[in-house]
Amino acid sequence: MARISIVDLEVFYRVGVPDAERAQPQRLLLSVEMEADFSAAATSDAIADTIDYFAVSQRLMKFGAGREWKLIEKLAADIADAILAEFKPQAVLVEVKKFILPHTRHVAVSLTRSR
């Protein structure tokens, strides 16, 4: 197995428990690690034999359009499920960083899902 990582992709989604917090999209950073067998890509040098990380990043940039979440735990699970369904890695790890608590750099939730 090999891993493709997208680290700290900046997105703006509506997320938060109080309605007021979800009123405007807020800045989040997403990190995604996708595990798959990339041996065919290493031989062929063809994008068709791997996971197109640009396509994944573009999907994540649009993922929040018209949606909202109360919990970043649910958001992370929804992202993981979407990546597994659309891009077919063997496993995916998703981390969501949120900048809401004073005196902290961020709060984060991460989870791993497998097929």
CA gyration radius, the chain? 15
pLDDT at 27: 97
Convert the pLDDT of each residue in 60-105 to its tens digit. 999 999 999 999 999 999 999 999 999 999 999 999 999 999 999 9
The torsion of the CA quartet 57, 70, 115, 93, rounded to 10 degrees, works out to 50
Number of domain units in the chain = 1
CATH number of the CATH domain containing 72: 3.30.1130.10
- Choose among 46, 50, 56, 58: nearest CA to 84: 56
Helix or strand run (H / E) with residue 108:
strand 107-114
- Tell me the pLDDT of the chain averaged across its residues: 97
| Pairing status of strand 91-98 against strand 2-15 | unpaired
Domain range spanning residue 53? 2-114
